[in-house]
A and B are shown apart, each in its own frame.
Chain A
Amino acid sequence: MRALITRSPVGSAERLQGAAIWVVLALLFLLAAALSEAFLRPIYLFNLIRQAAPVGITAVGVTLVMILGGVDLSVGAVISLGAVLCAVLMNGQTSNLATAVLVTSLAGAAVGLVNGVVIALGRASPFIVTLGIAIAVYGLTLLYSGGTARGEVSPGFREFMNYRVGGVAPVLALAFLGLAAVMAWLQRATRFGRSLYLIGSNPRAARLCGLPVAAVTLGAYALSGLFAALGGIALLARAGVSSTYVGRGLEFDVLAAVVLGGTTFQGGRGGVGGSVAGVLVLVIAFNLVNILGLSFYAQLMVKGAIIIAASAAYEYVQRYH
């Protein structure tokens, strides 16, 4: 049993497969750079990373859930909740900053725990459960805020997040990459992380081996909720107090990014690194079509086509390695 856990679940073949999304990202980046020289400017590139931060941070958390074989559709709602709650708690005071971030993170984790409890103990379908929780959380957020975006960001918060380290990299962008790195380490080096892969690839065997499936499930969903709340805070940093609906629809962008990155619905493989690459693919695609000046409807079509094409290309690269 120990041997199962101490051996890394990511073999060399899978590592190669994980590299596929980076190949796709590189190709897309080259294409974008060829079409618009904006993509060669470091400041613009870091802007993209910063733009990707809310979805990206959330995707990191969702990746853990999907490695487990589950899915979390409530993240869009939790992002909205996170943005609103954090702003209200900050209330324009610097002294409230730490409390606001802490309480918001806990709130996100709490929603995640509810998801986890219902899914693990109730043995119900994660897709539907998290969808239902999403609707409920949206409603609760609206009740809490009364329909308008309340609260005020602590002075200095947004300036800090947007401050460019070395004149180039905004703190928020680095925070995103940092969080992703921490989780990438977690998924590989900790027992929790390895349990995720094991349970995801063969839940029955994992249970028979005595792995604490329920506890790991709770942990994964709680982390997903936590990261979604952090994503909401990131959105707050980017956009300020804007609306109670900020997170709407983002869950599908998150899902697309995670799946593009190689973490499939079957579970048992993929990882945070791939999800980051997936998010970058989506961000580059969106901005590319926008920069090329394509009209609104064309943007939608191209976005859809890129998602399908990148996914297909990834499968192709994976199969012929």
Chain B
Amino acid sequence: MTVRAVNLRARPPAPLSGPFAIFALLLGVGAAAALWVPQFATPANLANVANQSAVLAVLAVGQTFVIACGMIDLSVGQLLGLVAVLACDLMAGRSAWVAPAVGVAFAVGLGVGLLNGVLNNRLRVHPLILTFGMLSVLQGVIFLYTDRSTGLTAPEILWLANGALAGIPVSVFVIAAAGIAGHWLLQRTRFGLHLRAVGSSEEGARRAGIDPGRIKLLAFVLSGVSAAIAGLIIAGRLGTGYPNAGNGFELDAIVAVVLGGTSLAGGRGSIPGTVAAVLVLGIASNVLNLAEISAFIQMVVKGLIVVAAVLVNRPREKVSG
């Protein structure tokens, strides 16, 4: 790893980092979809796409921070599931319990994020192995708590995931908020700068006076909190807390982040790219269904989309191997 001194004072905020390819891809896919499948461009269907993408969008924004910091978090899928289960059980469909449920969600997300961060700093285990182990532990915790769907989502959370505000789906606002807040945090704050510095070169960041341990801890906390919010949204989509709800979401999130132009090597990140990538994946899924493509072929197509998009969207730096 080359050591680069980080000049904290003179750095301008980075422009939309990451190639513009993902945005071009988004436009392309959207246009193709509208032309090919008549039902795609209807307001109702576009609203569906937004609702279908919100969970992943929030999760992927959190994951962007972790990856930009040079790490990875595989535990977020199960964390999402755990939050959904606990929140739904607490709410039991009652509006009065929404606030406590949200509180518990944040507490759990924060707690697990902290745990990941502390263990990562203490144990020197590679984040991939650590969070993989945590994935297993969380899955066990979920099943210790319940082996079947439990609880009921309150109307407010159902509205969050499926409702509309002035004709625009709430999901659109959620995705926009996550994107704007994430972008601001990553590109326009000192924290974001430090985070990218640590991801770029931990040693260099340390010499510049940044505490990598603290930054990494905060990255995991962000990831945990984003999983908590995503867990609430999925509770809104499913109406109940299903223990396996989060299975596989972590990989989808990582795919979205990398598709969006953030390199797994760390050091930079593009939140708008991540959001665009999530939308590309959501549109693709939607269009394949509308076009009545067989499920098995859908899998092949999705795999090829991932590979093709990665090729189009390569990180500028060389990846070894």
Contacts and interface: CB of A to CB of B under 8 A. Distances in A.
Is there any pair of Cβ atoms, one from A and one from B, under 8 angstroms apart in the complex? yes
Interface of A: 65, 68-71, 118-119, 122-129, 131-140, 142-143, 147, 199-200, 203-204, 217, 220, 252, 255-256, 259-260, 264-265, 267, 296-308, 311-312, 315, 319
B137 A300 contact: yes
B320 A200 contact: yes
Contact of B133 (A129, A131, A265, A304): A304
Nearest to A297: B143
Interface stretch (B94-102, B212-220, B258-266): B258-266
Contacts of A142: 296, 299
B274 interface: no
A310 B83 CA distance: 28
Nearest to B1: A266
A11 to B, nearest CB: 21
Counting chain A CB atoms within 10 Å of each CB, the highest count among B138, B298, B305, B310 belongs to: B310
24 contacts: A68-B320, A71-B321, A119-B319, A122-B311, A125-B264, A128-B310, A132-B307, A135-B300, A135-B303, A136-B299, A137-B303, A139-B297, A143-B300, A220-B321, A259-B126, A259-B129, A260-B129, A297-B143, A301-B141, A303-B140, A304-B134, A305-B137, A308-B129, A311-B130
Contact of B302 (A65, A135, A315): A135
A249 B233 CA distance: 26
A169 B1 CA distance: 46
Contacts of A69: 320-321
Contacts of B119: 308
Counting chain B CB atoms within 10 Å of each CB, the highest count among A129, A132, A203, A302 belongs to: A132
Counting chain A CB atoms within 10 Å of each CB, the highest count among B133, B251, B301 belongs to: B133
A133 B136 CA distance: 25
A-B pairs with the 5 shortest C-beta distances? A136-B303, A304-B136, A70-B321, A139-B299, A132-B306
State the majority secondary structure of interface residues on B: helix
A123 B303 contact: no
B206 interface: no
A77 to B, nearest CB: 9
B37 interface: no
A298 B136 CA distance: 10
A252 B126 contact: no
Contacts of A298: 140, 144
B259 A128 contact: yes
Given A136-B303, A138-B303, A296-B143, A118 B311 contact: yes
Given A123-B318, A127-B264, A311 B129 contact: yes
Contacts of A138: 299, 303
Contacts of B297: 139, 143
B300 A123 contact: no
Nearest to B142: A297
Contacts of B314: 122-124
Contacts of B128: 255, 259, 265
Categorize the interface residue count of chain B.
35 or more
B307 A304 contact: no
A3 B220 CA distance: 44
A10 to B, nearest CB: 19
A304 to B, nearest CB: 3
B202 to A, nearest CB: 12
B113 interface: no
Interface string B121-155: 00111101110111111111111100100000000
Contact of A304 (B135, B264, B298, B306): B135
B304 interface: yes
Contact of A139 (B124, B259, B300): B300
B126 A265 contact: yes
Contact of B306 (A71, A131, A220, A315): A131
A203 B133 CA distance: 30
B254 A127 contact: yes
Nearest to B298: A139
B313 to A, nearest CB: 9
Given A122-B311, A132-B305, A255-B132, 18 more contacts: A65-B321, A118-B311, A119-B319, A119-B321, A124-B310, A125-B310, A127-B258, A128-B306, A135-B303, A136-B307, A140-B300, A143-B300, A204-B318, A296-B143, A297-B142, A297-B147, A302-B140, A304-B133
Given A297-B140, A304-B133, A307-B129, A131 B255 contact: yes
A307 B138 CA distance: 14
Contacts of A299: 140
Interface in B221-244: none
